[in-house]
Structure 1
Amino acid sequence: MAIMFLAWSVFLSFTVLVVQPCNGEKSCVIWSSAGPVVQRGSTFKVYCTFNWQCKKSMRSGHPPTPQSHNKFNYTTIYFNVVNITKNRTYSCHCNSLPAPDPCGLDISAGYLPDHPKNLKCIYKIKNTERGLMVCTWSRGRDTYLRNSSMLWVRTVSGNHTDGPESNIVSSKGTEVLSVSFDVSRSVQLISVWVEAQNPLGSVNSSLTNYTLCDIVMPPAPVLVQPKCSSRECIIKVEQSMRMQHLQIQYRDEQQPWTNCPDSVAQTNSSRVRSISSLEPYRLYHFRARSKFSTGLWSQWSTNISSWTEEEAPAKELDIWFTDPASDSRSMRVYWKEANISISRGKIIEYKVSVYSPNLTFKPDVINISADTRSYSVPSCTGCEVTVWARNSKGLSPPARITTRRTKAEPPQDVRVTLGNYNITISWRKAKAAPLPSAYILEWYPESHKVEELRWVRLGKNDYHTIITGIQPYECYEGAVYALYNDSGLSRTRFKGVATLWSAPAAGPSVQETVEGNKVKITWSDLPRDQRMGCITKYTIYLENSNRYLQHYSTPASERTYVIKDLPSGDYSLWMTATTGNESRAGQKVKFFLKQETQLFLLLMCVVTSLFALLLLCLCQSSTVKQRFWEFFQCLMLDVVPDPANSKWAKECTQEKGKLNLQLQLSDSSVTEEEEPILVDVEELPRQNSDTSTNVSSQLPLQTSLSPDTVPATRLYPLTTYIKSFSHDSDSSDHTLTSLDTNTTVGYISSPGLGNMEEVDQEEEEESEDMYFFSSPNTFIEPMKFGGKLTLDAVKIDCSGFSQNA
């Protein structure tokens, strides 16, 4: 049974699928109670009648949206449309399996046509037989529907009436409609009206009747290129037929159209008109129109243009100058380009002359290019600068300015009021000053006076003015000058003026110079496009290796700054600029600071060590040793040595019969004497004859004192004592000491300079040549004494050293 039921269900489904498409019947029908076209704002019902048993629904819009519908009967449902405002689409859906195609309806919503308004017609003459009738009207508001318009025409020629004839015009998408058609010149009366229609209905305009001569319009005239002088132009007008009225208008580039006076000369089909009271060197445009004795004016002719001729410039130039610095040897004179009403032609060149009262000859006139607006002239006391402008017809009147003026009372209480793109400057006259002949207000972007100086000349009773053309985010400065008839000049400056400002786009780029324990910072102006207003100050940021941050502020006018007394170490440095807000940090630079004194001491230590090491190496050579000794001997004073206090004299007292002579030149000073002092030296025999020996027999070799001699050995020679018979001096008191009971020994004394000549020369026993040597010393060589021993003999002779040197 279950198998049979399943088979029967499949059969029924297949039958429905096969039979339903073959039936050809729609699943539903949709219609509107108001039709497919309705007026906007209306209310109506949309019905759906279904031919199938299914779940019924209605949808609207794109994409289709289900709508809340009502049930009309078992097969029909409907939807209430209230106050429709635009075109809509409605559809009916049957929800069953399989789902049949839905049925739909487009509803167009619009308005009835407006009555056509402003119906006007003109009759344009084409030739002597026919003309073109042109009618225009306004169709009114948009109906949002497809509209069509028809112009109906009825004509009367004598006793004959034709028409009405229709001329269909499409009016979609236009507000003013027009239609053209030919009409014979024999027509006397013409009647026209307009019918407008759309799917909602049709309307007619009112009937308009015209007499053809009242709407007739001649063709536009033709103008020939005029001939002009500096003040007048001759216009020639050509027409295809004789006209009773002609109107000519002219204007330059800045003026409106002006009607010419009615002074017309007729020459066949042409008319010639003279237009006077024109300005020199102006480009004028001309046009003309005409009409019959009745009817309408023709259309305007094509415009033609022509220049009037030049005349010499009418007025002097407006000139000004830069106030030179006290140390400047030149100044710059500026002038404005004159407008066309003053120049009266194309300026070919400018001429500049400088007159000084000290000159006895006529000053030279300098020719300057027409593109130039300034010139640098020498700055001198009482000099007068004159500037002319020249065109093809001549020179302008001279414009003069004095380079140096006397000081006068400046304008008082100068105030600046900022606008969005303008600046208002106001001031008042000084109370004690006379009334000036004029005021001059100058202004320029900060630090660009020479390149972009601007000024305005004002009357003596003007106390304020408005400066236009101010660029946003630009810093301006300037001054108000009072000019007096006696060449007096005074000014009051203003600066730091900007209409808009924000933080500068970047910080300055810095350069650092390290000098000892300080650093010098330099920077340049920010580019104009990065300043974003008037810079009020700069800030320097200094960070050490420990991240300790310090900052220093400096006015906007400064370009250098010195930071002193910095400890050694690594540093980072950057800057910012401030207007109303602070800029971001500029380029960061790094540098290292070290104390100069430490480096100097280190260098001195290294140099001293190297010098000591070099000296130590040189001292290992005997030749170098001798040269040093001779050099030091030259520096010693010439003082006679005192043997009584020497080491060898003391040793001699301890051993009888023997005397060790040790010359310690390093401990004695030698003083040069005018007269040689002779000292008698004698050898006394010892009591024990067996121990007495000759000094010469105990010396292995005889050596003289010479710079080139090197001793073979260093000895303390055995010798007898030295007895001095010199008188005691005031400066030294010697005691005679006996070596034995029979012998008295006198020591070599050092008499003072005053007692040198009083020394008694006593006879002594002749002794053999005696040699004595110094104690072991690095720089001392053996010295030889023979016969009489004089102080000259023990002097050190430096001549050999100097010769060897």
Structure 2
Amino acid sequence: MATMFQSWSIHLAITLLAVQLCFGQKSCVIWSSAGHVVQRGSTFQVYCTFNCTCKGTLYSYHPPVAQAHKTLNPKTIYSNVVNITENRTYSCQCNCIPGGDPCGLDISAGYPPDRPKNISCIHKITYNDRGDVECTWNRGRHTYLWNSSVLWMRTVSGNHTDGPVHKVSSKGAESPTASFNVSRSVQFISVWVQAQNELGSVESSIINYTLSDIAMPPAPVLGQPQCSSRACILRVEQSVRTQHLQIQSRTEQQTWTASPVSAVQMTSPQTWSISSLEPYRLYYFRARTKFSSGLWSQWSTNTSSWTQEEAPTKELDVWSTAPASDLKSLRVYWKEPNNSISRGKIIQYTVSVKSPDLSVVITNMSADTRRHTVPFCDGCEVTVWARNSKGLSPPARITTQHSEAEPLDNVHVSADNSSITISWTKPESAPSPAAYVVEWYPVGHKLAELRWVKVGKDDNHTVISDVKPFECYEGAVYAFYNETSVSRTRFGGVAIWEAAPEVGPQVQEKAEGNKVKITWTDLPRDLRRGCITNYTIYLEKAKGHQEKFCRPASEREYVTKELPPGGYSLWMTASSARGEGRPSQKIKLFLEPEASIPLLAVGIIFFAIAVFLVCLCQSTAVKRRLWEFFQCLMLDVVPDPANSKWAKECAKEKDKMNLQLQLSNSTVTEEEEEPILVDVEELPGQNTASSKPTNVSSLLLHPQTCLSPDTQPATPLYPPTTYIKSFSHDSDSSDHTQTSLDTNTTVEYISSHALDLSDEEDAEVEEESVDIHFFPSHNTFKEPLEFGGKLTLDAVKIDCSDIFLNT
């Protein structure tokens, strides 16, 4: 259904359009009460009258917008237009069927023309006093309408008071001009301008001119200058003869100035000399001319040329400093001279070092060099020259030895948005300085970017403009009292623009026990944003407790106090005068408790040592050595049997005694053990242990008595004493190892555990040799210790002299 309706609408529209085209008539008539051109800001009515009675609509703007209207009669409607400010289009439409073409109206809004003013005319002479009069004027405000301007001119020549009137239309909408040709007989002219548009017409006042007062010659033509070091010869060509010539010159950095000129030769074209110029400068020249009366011509086209070079007439601006890391050298700096000093193109710099012994070292450097390092020596003189094609500059000298003078008072530094001001006060007690030098440089870049300025002795401040924003500067003020006396007063921490640092420092940490050593580096130069005042270290425990430590800007290392074991987070910030900057990246660290050897490790070590000793003791040689070593250790508790009092007394008796030795065996009981008889020979009463043995009566060691023919057996001559002490009864206690040697004390030399002697005193010892086992069978030393031959007191004697022999 919708499709059918749409098709029907299109068919109807096409039908109506065809009908209108066939009839070709308007459906209405539209007009304005003020016409089609109105003044801006005015109020008027727009009317529409239709050919039939219908409901009409009034439109305006683009795209069309229906306007509020009123009905005048059944066929006419109108709309009030108030304070119109721009051009506007109106149209009317009606639903008459059949109808005609819609009607429309274009309204132009503007202003009437202003009165022309500031009329100016020039008589431009071209050749042989002939030329055109050209006039310009100001037409006033823009009218937003099409305007026409006409220049009216009346000429007066000879005796005629009123000449013919000439009409010339203007050219150009923005700056109207008009020109016309006049003959040589014309002396005076009168001009006025008439301007008009659809809203009105207006004329200017009449201006009178004398042609000689407005006469202007054409601009001269300049040739290529020919220059020396101080003057240039300039050729000037003119198409007409003039009475006045003006030549101006300038350099690239200067403004135009009039140059003194003098005629070189009176020819055509004329040649002029321009003097008072500076050597090695690029000069630009221009010229203009004028008749005896009238106006100056236009300036000529510029021409240029270089003046020639001269040798430099002033020494270089030289300064020096000693590198902090190298006290054996001196860094010499110089500034590139300007043209007023160099007077030519610098092709080479020369540095000479003259030592006190009059030896000279000369070094030549390229024109791009601005510094040179020379060996430092006391009393040396450094001289610097600049060379161009014409010669050397005067020498600039520096002495390397200065005496310290009293520093300046109250060196004050302040900064604004573009410069740094440094002021000072000289000490009242010091003599008046001969000169001052102020040096400055970015922090940390003294050798690469050192700057300085020299000021007079009467100055007490200087303004530095050669600085960059967000850069921190430091420097010093030097006061020179003579060639060898100088003082230095440092200043630092100044910037023309500042902000908080953009990043934090790069941090490294190292745990040293319960302390942490923190190191950091300088911030990148372009991210400091001014002068760093301090660094802040943040240390945060795992539980959230936070500590911070502030350090001066000059430090790069900090060691914390003793910290409890545990986990920590570490970061840093840098601060400037504008506030604290962004934090660095957090570092995680963990402090462990002090290390201690675990009990398991101690047990493993002792077990390994014990196993090693047990394995080592399986060797017979090792066991023998250990036994001898233990016997040697017991020298203090086991006396020598051969030298005992009992042995010496018994050596006098010739009787024999029976000794019964009972060996200890873990596998045999005491009842099953057979007594072992020991044949002991008594020695004669000799003092040496090397006497031959003789047969003596057997002596029963239990109850250990020494018998003679003249004594009773029941009475012992000496207290019972044991000569061989059993190891099985030994103790590590000092109470057992240190036995008193008093004769009234019973000392067991053969323990009852090792020897069991019978009570029969007449028992004979039948065996000549005996094997004595000092250790039970269950001991680690499984092999018995063997002794050969008969047991004598000398044999029992222990000699430790060869224990460590061949060890």
Q: Shorter-chain TM-score: what band?
A: 0.7 to 0.9
Query: Cα deviations across residues 749-786 of structure 1 (Å, max 9, x unaligned)?
Result: 5999999xxxxxxxx99961222111223236322131
2:780 is the alignment partner of 1:785: no
Give the Å deviation of 1:558. Answer: 0.8
1:143-158 matches, cutoff 5 A: 143-152=143-152
| Aligned partner letter, 1:363 | V
2:241 is the alignment partner of 1:246: no
Query: Cα deviations across residues 245-283 of structure 1 (Å, max 9, x unaligned)?
Result: 332222222333232335224443211111211111111
SS of match in other structure, 1:48:
strand
1:585 is matched with which residue: 583, 586, 608?
583
2:604 is matched with which residue: 602, 609, 621?
609
Query: Cα deviations across residues 599-650 of structure 1 (Å, max 9, x unaligned)?
Result: xx24x963772463264156246654642652574476365597xxxxxxxx
| Aligned partner letter, 1:348 | I
What residue in structure 2 maps to residue 351 of structure 1? 350
2:416 is the alignment partner of 1:419: yes
Give the Å deviation of 1:491. Answer: 2.6
Give the Å deviation of 1:93. Answer: 5.3
What residue in structure 1 maps to residue 753 of structure 2? none
1:358-757 matches, cutoff 5 A: 359-485=356-482, 487-579=484-576, 580-598=578-596, 601-602=597-598, 606=601, 609-610=604-605, 612-613=607-608, 615-616=610-611, 619-620=614-615, 623-624=618-619, 626-627=621-622, 630=625, 633-634=628-629, 637=632, 684=657, 718-720=675-677, 737=704, 747=721, 749=723
Give the Å deviation of 1:672. Answer: 13
- Structure 1 Cα separation of the partners of residues 155 and 247 of structure 2: 35
- Change in 2 beyond 3 A, CA 1:108/1:476: same
2:258 is the alignment partner of 1:255: no
- Structure 2 Cα separation of the partners of residues 267 and 326 of structure 1: 71
| Aligned partner letter, 1:310 | E
Count of aligned pairs between the two proteins: 723
Give the Å deviation of 1:104. Answer: 3.9
SS of match in other structure, 2:223:
strand
Query: Cα deviations across residues 156-204 of structure 1 (Å, max 9, x unaligned)?
Result: 78799996554434543x2x22345666667666655433222222333
Higher mean C-alpha deviation, range 27-36 or range 518-527:
27-36
Higher mean C-alpha deviation, range 471-480 or range 102-111:
102-111
SS of match in other structure, 1:616:
helix
What residue in structure 2 maps to residue 270 of structure 1? 269
SS of match in other structure, 1:553:
strand
| Aligned partner letter, 1:297 | W
Give the Å deviation of 1:307. Answer: 1.2
SS of match in other structure, 1:778:
coil
What residue in structure 2 maps to residue 341 of structure 1? 340
What residue in structure 2 maps to residue 3 of structure 1? none
- Structure 2 Cα separation of the partners of residues 232 and 379 of structure 1: 46
SS of match in other structure, 2:141:
coil
Contact conserved, 2:323 with 2:447, CA < 8 A, in 1? no
Give the Å deviation of 1:503. Answer: 1.8
What residue in structure 2 maps to residue 5 of structure 1? none
- Structure 2 Cα separation of the partners of residues 671 and 392 of structure 1: 118
- Structure 2 Cα separation of the partners of residues 16 and 639 of structure 1: 149
Contact conserved, 2:171 with 2:178, CA < 8 A, in 1? no
- Change in 2 beyond 3 A, CA 1:198/1:752: same
2:148 is the alignment partner of 1:140: no
- Change in 2 beyond 3 A, CA 1:802/1:221: farther
Query: Cα deviations across residues 530-575 of structure 1 (Å, max 9, x unaligned)?
Result: 1112111111222344444332221111111112423333333221
Contact conserved, 1:411 with 1:490, CA < 8 A, in 2? yes
Contact conserved, 2:128 with 2:240, CA < 8 A, in 1? no
- Structure 1 Cα separation of the partners of residues 633 and 149 of structure 2: 147
Higher mean C-alpha deviation, range 582-591 or range 744-753:
744-753
Contact conserved, 2:473 with 2:493, CA < 8 A, in 1? yes
- Structure 2 Cα separation of the partners of residues 526 and 63 of structure 1: 64
| Aligned partner letter, 1:783 | E
- Structure 2 Cα separation of the partners of residues 492 and 78 of structure 1: 91
- Structure 2 Cα separation of the partners of residues 488 and 81 of structure 1: 92
Contact conserved, 1:638 with 1:671, CA < 8 A, in 2? no
Query: Cα deviations across residues 52-98 of structure 1 (Å, max 9, x unaligned)?
Result: 44445545445555555444444434333343333334444558999
- Structure 1 Cα separation of the partners of residues 799 and 29 of structure 2: 154
- Structure 2 Cα separation of the partners of residues 641 and 237 of structure 1: 136
- Change in 2 beyond 3 A, CA 1:483/1:791: farther
1:88-99 matches, cutoff 5 A: 88-92=88-92, 94=94
Contact conserved, 1:477 with 1:496, CA < 8 A, in 2? yes
Higher mean C-alpha deviation, range 715-724 or range 453-462:
715-724
| Aligned partner letter, 2:329 | S
Query: Cα deviations across residues 638-688 of structure 1 (Å, max 9, x unaligned)?
Result: 65597xxxxxxxxxxxxxxxxxxxxxxxxx699999xxx9997997459xx
Higher mean C-alpha deviation, range 75-84 or range 487-496:
75-84
- Structure 1 Cα separation of the partners of residues 71 and 501 of structure 2: 75
- Structure 2 Cα separation of the partners of residues 149 and 426 of structure 1: 67
- Structure 1 Cα separation of the partners of residues 49 and 641 of structure 2: 157
Give the Å deviation of 1:506. Answer: 0.8
- Change in 2 beyond 3 A, CA 1:16/1:471: closer
Higher mean C-alpha deviation, range 342-351 or range 292-301:
292-301
SS of match in other structure, 2:311:
coil
- Structure 1 Cα separation of the partners of residues 554 and 795 of structure 2: 81
| Aligned partner letter, 1:523 | W
- Change in 2 beyond 3 A, CA 1:800/1:90: same
- Change in 2 beyond 3 A, CA 1:685/1:308: closer
- Structure 2 Cα separation of the partners of residues 753 and 548 of structure 1: 74
- Structure 2 Cα separation of the partners of residues 217 and 682 of structure 1: 174
Higher mean C-alpha deviation, range 132-141 or range 156-165:
156-165
Higher mean C-alpha deviation, range 739-748 or range 780-789:
739-748
Q: Which runs of 5+ in 2 are unaligned?
A: 1-11, 665-671, 688-700, 725-738, 744-763
1:161-180 matches, cutoff 5 A: 164=165, 166-169=167-170, 171-172=172-173, 174=174, 176-180=175-179
Give the Å deviation of 1:336. Answer: 1.9
Give the Å deviation of 1:437. Answer: 1.4
- Change in 2 beyond 3 A, CA 1:621/1:426: closer
SS of match in other structure, 1:592:
strand
Contact conserved, 2:571 with 2:584, CA < 8 A, in 1? yes
What residue in structure 2 maps to residue 283 of structure 1? 282
Higher mean C-alpha deviation, range 78-87 or range 398-407:
78-87
Query: Cα deviations across residues 390-413 of structure 1 (Å, max 9, x unaligned)?
Result: 222222222223333222222212
Q: Which runs of 5+ in 1 are unaligned?
A: 1-11, 643-667, 687-691, 700-714, 756-763
Give the Å deviation of 1:524. Answer: 0.8
> What is the TM-score when the length of structure 1 is the normalising length?
0.78
